[in-house]
Structure 1
Amino acid sequence: MGDLILGFTTVLQPSMLLIIAAGVLGGIIIGALPGLTATMGVALLVPLTFGMNAVAGLVLLVGIYCGAIYGGSISAILLRTPGTPAAAATVIEGYMLAQKGQAGKALGMSTIASFCGGMFSALALTFIAPQLAKVALSFGPPEYFALALFGLSIISSISGDQVLKGLAAGFFGLLLATIGMDPITGYPRFTFDNANLLSGISFIPVLIGLFAVAEALATTEAMIKNLNIDVKIAGNLPTLAELKQCAKTILKGSAIGTFIGIIPGAGADIAAFVSYGECKRSSRDSDKFGTGVLEGVAAPESANNGVTGGALVPLLTLGVPGDAVAAVMLGALMLQGLKPGPMLFKDNADVVYSLFAGLMLANVFMLLFGLFGIKYIAKVVTVPKPILTPIIFILCVVGSYAINNSLFDVLVMMVFGVIGYLMQKLKFPISPIVLALILGPMAEGEFRRSLVMSQGDPSIFFTRPICLVFFALAAISIVGSYVAQRRKEKTAAIAQ
């Protein structure tokens, strides 16, 4: 505890507070712009930390990290454009709330849930980091495959009333995930001799196309038909009763995000979808999901911000980054002459606990910026559509190009924009494609590595307790979705 107090003493200096605040605000802006991911924001700022002392440089990067993960929800809710992949699950309920005139309320819930998730993970990082890291160490290829399978099982619960169409969309996403180099042999698959496809289809352009471009095309069509597409903003913050209703969901999402953040390679996008799927599965009003439910915003936002602290657990204690941003942070630590691992806590305790304190303060600044700026941020949806739609198209192009400085990614974005638009017309859910693209490569690679480990014996998946837990959760998710659907159909039949 004394080390943590010393850490707060260090970061509560005016200069440090200014650095943290600037990092959070810059991160929110980066996260809100489609295509500019948290990883990109942190990576762009790493060179600037070279001339700073270790604590200042690290708290700046942590501030950007927290702000960017939260910022992605702003454009997700207001424009149906996930600013970061971590906000892809937030789109499902957040945008529907905005369409119902509750954009401010959705943003308020996102802010509060993000703060709770971030603080939960920061406290977990501070007090139980070594113990949690030991759990993550027990994960091998079979456990990663089981986790991916559990994630894919959520497709049935995020497909709403269109379960068959959702499964078809998920299968399409899995097919897309096979494009590129074989994860084991390195042999090109389905590249059609196009060098741009050797590394697979870039996820960010697909995400921007399916959500942002598709919505912009639909908006353009509505303008042509002179349809009323204005959104009215009502209420800036959730009520106390709504916060109490979502408290359990926020706590559960924070725990899910922190745990998944500790697992190296999982990431905030997976945590958000897992939390959303669990929230819908356990809800008494699961049939309302997809129409704009506050719990559907609280679950993914508490989870994806829960990853921020969780991802730093294996990084600091074992030198193993929990996600892509933590991998960049690893480079920043090395740049400062710090070697992550158990000895870091002994040799550089002052830096470590200052980082913990900085992470907590970053979440406080995030809460203040979010709550203070909601009434201004929410006004984005009142911008006339003829002005806003071209801006969205420009941001989509810039965001897609900025990932790899590739015009091919812009083409991918446009193609998937048309696909997303047609899917909307045909009432196919889009989220299963995104989920399959995220988890497909992980599931395939870890499955095949597991079989290599066991020399082709599939029983390896049924002899490991963690695998059995994830398999059971996957079965519960699928059966629960089926039962909920049958109950809904029975209720509708009785009502008729």
Structure 2
Amino acid sequence: MIDLFFATLGSLLTLQHMGYMLAGVSLGLVIGVLPGVGGIAGLSLLLPFLYGMNETSALAMLIGLLAIVPTADTFTSILMGIPGSSASQATVLDGFPLAKQGQAARALSAAFAASMIGGLFGALLLTFAVLVASPIILSFGSAELFMLTLFGLSMVGVLSGANMVKGIASACLGLAFGLVGAAPATSEYRMDFGMLYLSDGIPLVAVALGIFALPEILDLLRGGGAIAQGAPLGKGWYRGVSDTLKNIWLTLRCSGIGALIGAIPGIGGSVVDWIAYGHVVQTSKDRSQFGKGDIRGVIAPESANNATAAGALLPTLLFGIPGSGSMAIFLAAMILLGIQPGPGMANENLSVTYTIIWSLAIANVIGTAMCILLAPGIAKLTAVRYALIAPFMIMVICFAAFQATRSFADLMALLAMGLVGMFMRRFGWSRPAFLIGFVLALGGERYLYQAVQFYGWGFVTRPLVLVIGAITLLSIYFGLRGTKVGATKIESEGSAADSVAQRMAPQIVFTLITLAAFGFAIQQGLQVSFLAMIFPVSVGVVGGLAALLLLVQQMRGPVAAGSANFDGEANATDGGPWRFLFWFLGFMAAIGVVGFFAALVGFFLVFLRVIARSSWIQAVLLTAGAAGLMLGLANALNLVFPGGLLQEYYDLPWPFR
């Protein structure tokens, strides 16, 4: 077996195979840098090229892409505050503040080093797990997966900030949004307002980009300068690697968490970064800098999300059960190559398995080296005036959101979630808690339904359920240690208490709207059958009680209400971020009239001339570059952009339709 292990390495280390791996890594790097596109789109692009390819070369190319995407998506998470993918959302919390402090180099190098260690550790675990992990994976049924969902929700205590009540309300609000559409138990529709688009729920990419990306873009535009307030890069390339090595035990722990979560089908990479982030906060004595620029908040999720890819390969190879969306495409690629996943991958097809493992390890090293080489140039974007970068970011997040269902409604969902994110950011509600609630909503409901169907309500007494339940209780305990359920001292920079008190009215209005949303969830739940009713009614009741308690705190004044983002918007003379929101609204309206591509060209020219105050030459060149990028992506993905009202009357040529 050892001879076969190293013989497989020898067959992989040829010029042809390494060339294909490099091609996969390069494409993965580009895909990872584009927010919201992700490994599913990248692997889909490679599928047509697999016909007739050598098995080893094809696997090297596929794994090369798969390995680098979780590393490359770190760029936008740290430099722009925009989650590169669903697995890099938690990296934003500390990575972006570090970039704004002029420590982008340190954050990036720490992230890349942690990613490489996580990837290598995952490959090492996969080597041994292929032979021994089958019984463990098979022991996880719907009951255990439901308890793992509750474990993920236990991170709310860590992600709530200073006010646990707001954290619970935020998580329940995310759960409510996640329950929009058909109930997994009975296929009855809830909270869809009779709209066909909402029958399948709100797409995750629109929610993630709306909650995190759009508010950050508008806030940075309001500042008027570059992202980094001091030195754009700092001198932290070696310091970041040193930080990772100093926290090597944390890196290995989170890598193990990532591999374990990845190996369990149905949980996937959308939540593993939050679990790793919650773990590092819970196990740290000094939590004061988390969310403000703690390097450990970058190391933990980045090591976990890279190890997740190796973990997700385990059920994919041994059982033919994809551990994630990307793995579903990889499974299809294996079948195209004539490889049959299943228990045979651990004996007669062991050489194929070892090829995948070696490809994963080598691709992580090559990908990390490429990211480090390109990072100085990419990181210089933090020194550029943000008004020049913002239209590109708006273009990219609109393009990413449009990938969900490829309809204009995706852009409307992005706008709606952006508004929710702006208010949550301003009033100190936990956006991470909201997002983890949204991610776990439908999965949790599905697992509960299946657990009750298969085992009855006695599923709570299953041994592994009790173990996970005990771990969840410990997680809640450690999360509550540094979080107050009630009041906290408010931080109002340079603002008098009376001035802050005058600005409580908008917060109260937002809380009342949230309370109405929970009431609507209860009302919708009571109209469907019992199994489809449990989750929306439970979420509405718990979230409503939390919102009521928060409302009482807010009525008592700002100190009782807990910390909030009082940034002087009420007295702002520049219109705050709302002025730039109107630009985004104008872009959406133009798309509805003339279509995406024509609106994009017009938006770029006008924005660069009016807001960025660019010369005509600079504006035209930047607009041409943006248009060329969109045309290239549309051609590669066989994409038809959203058309406008003009398309209904005129047969416009591609790409104006």
User: Fold conserved (TM > 0.5)?
Assistant: yes
Q: Which residue of 2 aligns with 1:37?
A: 38
Q: Which residue of 2 aligns with 1:208?
A: 209
- Residue identity matched to 1:430: R
Give the distance between the partners of 2:377 and 2:486, measured in 1 at CA: 39
- Residue identity matched to 1:326: M
- For residue 112 of structure 1, report the CA deviation from its aligned partner: 0.6
Q: Which residue of 1 aligns with 2:459?
A: 460
Q: Which residue of 2 aligns with 1:195?
A: 196
Q: Which residue of 1 aligns with 2:76?
A: 75
Matched, 1:328 2:329: yes
Structure 2 contact 266–323 (Cα < 8 Å) conserved: yes
- For residue 293 of structure 1, report the CA deviation from its aligned partner: 0.8
Structure 2 contact 80–96 (Cα < 8 Å) conserved: yes
Q: Which residue of 1 aligns with 2:250?
A: 249
- Residue identity matched to 2:252: L
Structure 1 residue runs of 4+, over 6 Å off? 226-229, 487-492
Task: Flag the 1:430–1:338 CA change in 2: closer, same or farther, 3 A.
Answer: same
Task: Flag the 1:316–1:390 CA change in 2: closer, same or farther, 3 A.
Answer: same
In structure 1, the residue corresponding to 2:145 is in which secondary structure? helix
Task: Flag the 1:303–1:379 CA change in 2: closer, same or farther, 3 A.
Answer: same
- For residue 351 of structure 1, report the CA deviation from its aligned partner: 2.5
Q: Which moved more, 1:469-478 or 1:407-416?
A: 469-478
Matched, 1:28 2:26: no
Query: For each residue in 1:270-316, what CA deviation from the matched residue of structure 2 results, as whole angstroms up to 9, or x when unmatched?
Result: 21111111111001112321111111111111111001111111111
Q: Which moved more, 1:242-251 or 1:52-61?
A: 242-251
Q: Which residue of 1 aligns with 2:275?
A: 274
Q: Which moved more, 1:301-310 or 1:131-140?
A: 131-140
- For residue 380 of structure 1, report the CA deviation from its aligned partner: 1.8
Task: Flag the 1:418–1:351 CA change in 2: closer, same or farther, 3 A.
Answer: same
Give the distance between the partners of 2:216 and 2:179, measured in 1 at CA: 27
Give the distance between the partners of 2:361 and 2:26, measured in 1 at CA: 15
- For residue 438 of structure 1, report the CA deviation from its aligned partner: 0.9
Q: Which residue of 2 aligns with 1:360?
A: 361
> Normalised by the size of structure 1, how large is the TM-score?
0.94
Give the distance between the partners of 1:328 and 1:30, measured in 2 at CA: 15
Query: For each residue in 1:324-359, what CA deviation from the matched residue of structure 2 results, as whole angstroms up to 9, or x when unmatched?
Result: 111111101111111101223444333222222111
Matched, 1:469 2:467: yes
Give the distance between the partners of 2:37 and 2:277, measured in 1 at CA: 23
Q: Which residue of 1 aligns with 2:16?
A: 15
- For residue 48 of structure 1, report the CA deviation from its aligned partner: 1.4
Give the distance between the partners of 2:249 and 2:227, measured in 1 at CA: 37
- Residue identity matched to 2:126: L
Q: Where does structure 2 lack aligned partners over 5 or more consecutive residues?
A: 491-657
- For residue 228 of structure 1, report the CA deviation from its aligned partner: 8.7
Matches within 5 A, 1:167-316: 167-223=168-224, 230=229, 232-239=232-239, 242-316=243-317
- Residue identity matched to 1:414: L
Q: Where does structure 1 lack aligned partners over 5 or more consecutive residues?
A: none
Give the distance between the partners of 1:328 and 1:191, measured in 2 at CA: 29
- For residue 164 of structure 1, report the CA deviation from its aligned partner: 2.0
In structure 2, the residue corresponding to 1:51 is in which secondary structure? coil
Q: Which residue of 1 aligns with 2:540?
A: none
Q: Which residue of 2 aligns with 1:385?
A: 386
In structure 2, the residue corresponding to 1:337 is in which secondary structure? coil
- Residue identity matched to 1:84: S
Give the distance between the partners of 1:264 and 1:202, measured in 2 at CA: 20
Give the distance between the partners of 2:246 and 2:464, measured in 1 at CA: 31
Task: Flag the 1:490–1:208 CA change in 2: closer, same or farther, 3 A.
Answer: closer
- For residue 4 of structure 1, report the CA deviation from its aligned partner: 1.5
Structure 2 contact 276–304 (Cα < 8 Å) conserved: yes
- Residue identity matched to 1:465: P
- For residue 235 of structure 1, report the CA deviation from its aligned partner: 2.1
Query: For each residue in 1:83-110, what CA deviation from the matched residue of structure 2 results, as whole angstroms up to 9, or x when unmatched?
Result: 1100011111111111111111111111
- Residue identity matched to 1:211: F
In structure 2, the residue corresponding to 1:473 is in which secondary structure? helix
Give the distance between the partners of 2:134 and 2:326, measured in 1 at CA: 18
In structure 1, the residue corresponding to 2:237 is in which secondary structure? coil
Q: Which residue of 2 aligns with 1:412?
A: 413
Structure 1 contact 218–421 (Cα < 8 Å) conserved: no
Higher relative contact order (CA 8 A, sep 6+): 1
Give the distance between the partners of 1:149 and 1:80, measured in 2 at CA: 28
Structure 2 contact 130–314 (Cα < 8 Å) conserved: yes
Give the distance between the partners of 2:325 and 2:142, measured in 1 at CA: 19
Q: Which moved more, 1:170-179 or 1:473-482?
A: 473-482
Give the distance between the partners of 1:31 and 1:314, measured in 2 at CA: 24
Q: Which residue of 2 aligns with 1:122?
A: 123
- The structure whose residues are more often helix, as a share, is 1
Structure 1 contact 268–304 (Cα < 8 Å) conserved: yes
Structure 2 contact 227–383 (Cα < 8 Å) conserved: no
Structure 1 contact 246–294 (Cα < 8 Å) conserved: no
Q: Which moved more, 1:80-89 or 1:15-24?
A: 15-24
Structure 1 contact 108–370 (Cα < 8 Å) conserved: no
Query: For each residue in 1:2-32, what CA deviation from the matched residue of structure 2 results, as whole angstroms up to 9, or x when unmatched?
Result: 1121111111101211211221121122112
Q: How many residues of Structure 1 are paired with residues of Structure 2 in the alignment?
A: 487
> Normalised by the size of structure 2, how large is the TM-score?
0.71
Structure 1 contact 210–417 (Cα < 8 Å) conserved: yes
- For residue 248 of structure 1, report the CA deviation from its aligned partner: 1.4
- For residue 384 of structure 1, report the CA deviation from its aligned partner: 1.4
Task: Flag the 1:238–1:170 CA change in 2: closer, same or farther, 3 A.
Answer: farther
Give the distance between the partners of 1:52 and 1:396, measured in 2 at CA: 34
In structure 1, the residue corresponding to 2:51 is in which secondary structure? helix
Give the distance between the partners of 2:214 and 2:293, measured in 1 at CA: 21
Give the distance between the partners of 2:416 and 2:142, measured in 1 at CA: 34
Q: Which residue of 2 aligns with 1:351?
A: 352
Task: Flag the 1:121–1:227 CA change in 2: closer, same or farther, 3 A.
Answer: closer
Task: Flag the 1:22–1:439 CA change in 2: closer, same or farther, 3 A.
Answer: same
Query: For each residue in 1:369-420, what CA deviation from the matched residue of structure 2 results, as whole angstroms up to 9, or x when unmatched?
Result: 1222221221121221111111111111111112321111111111111221
- Residue identity matched to 1:136: I
Identity %: 30
Task: Flag the 1:416–1:7 CA change in 2: closer, same or farther, 3 A.
Answer: same
Q: Which residue of 1 aligns with 2:148?
A: 147
- For residue 229 of structure 1, report the CA deviation from its aligned partner: 6.5
- Residue identity matched to 1:356: I
Task: Flag the 1:491–1:169 CA change in 2: closer, same or farther, 3 A.
Answer: closer
- For residue 469 of structure 1, report the CA deviation from its aligned partner: 2.1
Q: Which moved more, 1:403-412 or 1:294-303?
A: 403-412
Q: Which structure's CA Rg is the greater one? A: 2
